[in-house]
Amino acid sequence: MKQPAVYILASDRNGTLYAGVTSDLLARTWQHREHLVDGFTKRYDVTMLVWYELHATMDTAITREKQIKKWNRAWKLRLIQEANPRWRDLWPDIIG
């Protein structure tokens, strides 16, 4: 899935959230899941892909990520809830 994407990972349903941007959602999600990325997601075990959005360009993806990072938690939870009401881990969906 080598297309610019904005994504949100969670530690659990309504748990700790992390928003990021990538040019390769599959590879980046795998890195988080395997704790290969030092920092916030590794420290707080934030590995469950609960929302993502594909973009035509990296510029639009970065703009969207910055927008989402400024949102309060309730808005992020609503975004996830609307697209993924059961908070399923979307990893199986992207690995094909």
Please count the structural domains in the chain: 1
Mean pLDDT score, 33-59: 97
Domain containing 28 — which CATH number? 3.40.1440.10
Q: What is the predicted pLDDT for the residue at 3?
A: 96
* Mean pLDDT estimate for the chain: 97
Q: What is the predicted pLDDT for the residue at 1?
A: 67
Residue 52 has pLDDT above 90, yes or no: yes
Residue 37 has pLDDT above 90, yes or no: no
Q: What are phi and psi of 39, to 5 degrees?
A: 125, -150
Q: How far apart, in whole angstroms, are the C-alpha atoms of residue 83 and residue 43?
A: 26
Place of tokens 């881990």: 89
Tokens representing 85? 């009401």
Say whether 64 sits in a helix, a strand or coil: helix
Q: What is the predicted pLDDT for the residue at 96?
A: 83
Which one, of 3, 7, 2, lies nearest residue 50 by Cα?
7
Mean pLDDT score, 24-40: 96
Residue 30 has pLDDT above 90, yes or no: yes
Identify the domain containing residue 85 by its residue range. Answer: 5-95
Mean pLDDT score, 72-76: 98
Q: How many CB atoms lie within 10 A of CB 33?
A: 17
Mean pLDDT score, 57-72: 98
